[in-house]
A and B are shown apart, each in its own frame.
Chain A
Amino acid sequence: MTERRIQLEVQRYRPETDSEPTWESYDVPAMEDWVVLDALNYVKDHLDGTLSYRWSCRMAVCGSCGVMVNGQPVLACKAFLRDYPETVRVEPLANLAVHRDLIGDMETFAARLPEVKPYLIPGEEPPEEDVFRQQPSELAVYRQFTMCINCLLCYSACPQVGLNENYLGPSILALAHRYNQDSRDGGRAEREEVTASEDGVWECTFVGECSEVCPKGVDPAGAIQQMKLASSMDWITRPLKRGGKS
């Protein structure tokens, strides 16, 4: 059986020498069990040591290797060459500034994430020498939103991220929702100051692409809709709660 080969077309950009991105094509083998990351590593090791991209775990859990493959945001370690035609085009994730080659900007995400306080703000003091009680059913309420690996595929799929650079975006909002929904947490009101602001949930037009492309089955679009509802309810019921615990 002859070995299958593909043309790997990779977008290159070296800011020290290139005024704009260019394309480079590499002829690489495509073993049955190879993913796009294997092809990139083959280029790096054997054809062109100057190609730069991020990768680490190669098991779809560290979130490093998000790229566009034939126009779709995917994890390079999870995209099998056998599922693609003879020409495979690899670009950096859309909607992110590009530092070099396939390496997109993570700094903006990292800088904005703390704004929504994505950590437990306990509703009550933790028990001493013991754990909070949490029923399996309570865990099930927020568990899927804990699965986000911060790979930013959803940012690259979201049209609003492309239109409004200040929009917090799907992953950050879903993480805020994750803590809001945790039975141990009491920080929703604090988070809403940011998530219900003009750059928060109301920017979302519910296209739902974020949930479509998520490699871990998280539903940020659903999280955002639930947050919109909760935020509206808070607004409607606000006078009734005055003086009580909000």
Chain B
Amino acid sequence: MRFVNADVVIIGGGGAGLRAAIAAAEADPSLHVALVSKIYPMRSHTVAAEGGAAGVASENDSLENHFRDTVSGGDWLCDQDAVDLFVKEAPGVLRELEHWGCPWSRQADGRVAVRPFGGMKIERTWYAADKSGFHILHTLFQTSLKYDAIHRYDEYYVVDLLVADGRCMGCVAIELKTGETVVFAAPSVVMATGGAGRAFPFTTNAGTNTGDGIAMAYRAGVPLKDMEFVQYHPTGLPGKGILITEGARGEGGILVNRDGYRYLQDYNLGPPDPWPRKKAMELGPRDRLSQAFWHEQQKGRTVDHPAGQVVLLDVRHLGEKKINERLPFVRELARIYAAVDPVHEPIPVRPVVHYTMGGIDTDIDAASPVTGLYAAGECACVSINGANRLGSNSLTELLVFGRIAGHNAATARAEHPDEASARELAETAMSRVQRLLDTDPGEESVAGLRDELNGYMEECAGIYRDQERLDQACEGIAGLRERYGKLGLTDKSCVFNTELAYALELGSMLEIGEALVHAARMRRESRGAHQRLDFTERNDDEFLVHSMASFRGDGPPEITRKPVTITRWEPAERVYGGTSDD
């Protein structure tokens, strides 16, 4: 067992983790900042974000506008103190990326260009063509190379946090190349491991988005907040689930059903102007658009496609020049993975699991209830996203709260943990790994259990839910967790034992999936991305609260409630389309 004595440990090397690492290094260059990730940082899923990052950029816009769009977009489940901080910090973190070389797309006068996005009243989404996440991630990664304080531990799979008496003192990991156990001890830990979309079978998420960090924090005693809120992005390619950016609609793309009809006008999103008006039609919020698809499918108005039912995203009227300039990646992806050239044909799309709104409970200092543990990015729930995240808020969120987490972790000035205690906690945590390695393969397999979990999530926790199916999922996933206890591996080796890594990821997804369906069962209302066929209205009297899922070992989670922070905008009806005041 190797021992690394660090000052700050950051788990996850995507956008939030890298931004946190840079902030920690800038706060105190003498620190040992350990950036630990199961993959190389540039492989992280921030890389796949396309459309852009929101931040007020023009004189006709205001922080108040961004605040109101975000709070109403989240169906009033956002914590308003967090949203205020977020919109205030947003322009600064985006300018900072520009100063670090991010190749943002430009206006003719050399200033950064912005585009309209769903649910946003004014165009404020900064973009780098349609590879914004890719460029943000690579800019952060390359910039991180400047800092001697940042020590990277690439391809180390973190197994668990080390927590005793309500204080976090590091984590324990497996170096994938050797199989060696490594203890990272530090007074501060930042969790930045991204979302858990892979609990679902049909998702835009990378294979690595298995929610490890969310599950680690959960096991360590941090409640998971609002896990029932899962975002379906309305436009993924059928079959593979590859993302086609909302930027395509921001640039003027339209959605039509099998009759060539812009069906969104039937769902309180009209009128169908030739040029999409803000916060209407194709520029409505993602939850409403994905729900509209579901209804179109019920009505038999979707299009048959070999890989399932779809609607059509049409950008042909933008013309080849504009498509090549603003949406080159969309064109590339559609040609490769759907055999369609968007210059000449509409793109087949359908809703696809995209974003985990819930996550590790944090406050506006990015701190969790466990002392010394911070979290930022998609794994955290601070919550600026509430019941439905607006497109292009998440890239900004990982910058704003990644920076805060890294800075606070670096300046907390807590004592270093005792090596013997850290080692002892690590031994205990690793017994879970040892059991998997010691158990001979039997009836259960990683792929088999994963497929069953995927089935429950899709069947019972999709765009529309009800009591009966959520009951089924709660019971079913409990059964899967029990069977997981008997899982044995065929691979007993040390070097890059990916079967072991997949098994640990599966364990995370089972725990998260269970928390998700229990939270969804508790919430007997419809709000944002959580829609119940048996409780079709928002119910502020009972459910203007965060759900909090607490880990209870082998049993089901305990679900409690926490008040939503409402500072200055009382809940109101959420209106889009022509009847909206905005």
Contact = CB atoms under 8 A, between A and B. Distances in A.
Interface of A: 14-17, 33, 44-46, 48-50, 52-64, 78, 99-101, 103, 106-107, 110, 113-114, 117-120, 122, 126, 129-136, 138-139, 142-143, 146-147, 149-150, 175, 179, 182, 184-185
A17 B493 CA distance: 9
B530 interface: no
Contacts, number: 156
A133 to B, nearest CB: 3
Contacts of A132: 98-99
A110 B154 contact: yes
Interface in B37-75: 39-40, 42-45, 47-48
Contacts of A58: 206-207, 240, 242
Contacts of A150: 40, 42
Interface in B209-239: 239
Nearest to B155: A106
A118 B145 contact: yes
Contacts of B154: 106-107, 110
B138 interface: yes
B106 A136 contact: yes
Nearest to B489: A49
B132 to A, nearest CB: 12
A61 B47 contact: yes
Given A50-B499, A103-B496, A134-B106, A56 B101 contact: no
B240 A100 contact: no
B429 to A, nearest CB: 24
Contacts of A130: 95
Contact of A49 (B107, B242, B491): B491
A103 B145 CA distance: 24
A115 to B, nearest CB: 10
B164 interface: no
Contacts of A143: 103
A46 B495 CA distance: 21
B106 A126 contact: no
Contact of B42 (A46, A55, A62, A136): A62
Interface stretch (B108-116, B257-265, B278-286, B409-417): B108-116
A76 to B, nearest CB: 12
Given A56-B206, A133-B109, A182-B101, A146 B135 contact: yes
Contacts of B307: 33
A52 B145 CA distance: 29
A31 to B, nearest CB: 9
Given A58-B207, A132-B99, 15 more contacts: A15-B495, A16-B494, A17-B493, A33-B239, A33-B240, A54-B43, A58-B242, A59-B243, A61-B131, A62-B47, A100-B496, A130-B95, A136-B105, A139-B105, A142-B103
Given A64-B43, A118-B142, A16 B101 contact: no
Nearest to A38: B240
B37 to A, nearest CB: 12
Contacts of A126: 98-99
Interface string B90-106: 00000100111101111
Given A101-B496, A120-B99, A120-B101, A136 B447 contact: no
B445 interface: yes
Contacts of B207: 55-58
Nearest to B144: A119
Contacts of A175: 142
A113 B145 contact: yes
Contacts of B103: 139, 142-143, 146
13 contacts: A49-B499, A55-B207, A57-B206, A59-B48, A61-B131, A61-B329, A62-B44, A64-B43, A100-B495, A106-B155, A119-B145, A122-B99, A136-B108
Contacts of B441: 49
Contacts of A14: 493, 495
Interface in B331-353: 332-333, 336-337
A130 B499 CA distance: 49
Contacts of A136: 105-108
B200 interface: no
A49 B333 CA distance: 30
Contacts of A139: 103, 105-106
B143 interface: yes
B98 A57 contact: no
A78 B336 contact: yes
B579 interface: no
Contacts of A78: 336
Interface in B125-139: 131, 134-135, 138
B564 interface: no
Nearest to B108: A136
B100 A119 contact: yes
A58 B38 CA distance: 17
Contacts of A131: 95, 98-99, 104, 111-112
Contacts of A100: 495-496
Contacts of B243: 59
A129 B329 CA distance: 31
B100 A120 contact: yes
